[in-house]
Amino acid sequence: MISGSQIAKRVAELGTEISNDCVESQLVALVILRGGFIFAGDLLRSLDPAIEVAVDFMSVTSYGDGTTSSGEIHIAKEPDLRVEGKDVLVIEDILETGLTLGSVRDRLVERGARSVRFVTLLEKTGKRRHAVTPDYIGFQIPDVFVVGYGLDYAQKYRNLPDIRVFVPRTPAYTLDAKVPDDER
């Protein structure tokens, strides 16, 4: 769906935009694990080197092993750094219903962050159920399940260098099923 070079070009643009907006900031980049790790690695390296940024990680899951959100989030790792008085830039792989980023924002506000901004590589259009407005979006995509560049299906495919549509394999039993001769 999106090639590695298209991603690289867009990530560089986002890096420039964020650098221009964050000159005066006490910046903490908060990477949402696990999906955000590859995007964050590239994005952080595309920021203007003059920008001083602390980096922290938070691990949040809302999906089981399937392709639909469970509707509940589980925080497996809280941020370690103090965010009080800081300008937090949350780095996420994909924004769908807004459940994940909405809960992250609420926790950061509770902990006294001075500002919270979101950058998401992908935004699935037409799926939003929670009020979250990303400040920076890499690409808008239709409602399909995608993998690669950090995004997984059942923990696989995060290593792909590009973004691909995930098509489930036809279950083996339909291939082995005995079809009566007169229905062939």
Q: Which residues bind Mg ion (CB under 5 A)?
A: 35
Q: What distance separates the 2 farthest-apart alpha carbons in the chain?
A: 75
69 binds ligand IMP (CB under 6 A): yes
95 binds ligand IMP (CB under 6 A): yes
> In this chain, which stretch among 13-21, 104-112, 145-153, 168-176 interacts with ligand IMP, using CB under 6 A?
145-153
User: Looking up tokens 């964020």, which residue turns up?
Assistant: 18
Token pair for 110: 């509770």
150 binds ligand IMP (CB under 6 A): no
149 DSSP 8-state letter: T
C-alpha 128/C-alpha 98 separation (Å) is 6
Site string for ligand IMP, 1-40 (x = CB under 6 A): ----------------------------------x-----
138 binds ligand IMP (CB under 6 A): no
Q: DSSP secondary structure string, 67-114? A: SSEEEEEEEEE---S--BT-EEEEEEEEESSSHHHHHHHHHHHHTTBS
Q: Is 84 a catalytic residue?
A: no
CA dist 141 → 1, 25, 95, 163 (Å):
9, 30, 10, 11
Q: Which residue is nearest to Mg ion (CB)?
A: 35
Give the active site residue among 96, 110, 123, 183.
96
C-alpha 104/C-alpha 172 separation (Å) is 40
Count of residues making up the chain: 184
Q: Per CB under 6 A, which of residues 99..118 are in contact with ligand IMP?
A: 99-100
94 binds ligand IMP (CB under 6 A): yes
Give the footprint of ligand IMP on this chain (CB under 6 A).
35, 62-63, 69, 92-100, 145-147, 151-152
Q: Which residues are catalytic?
A: 96
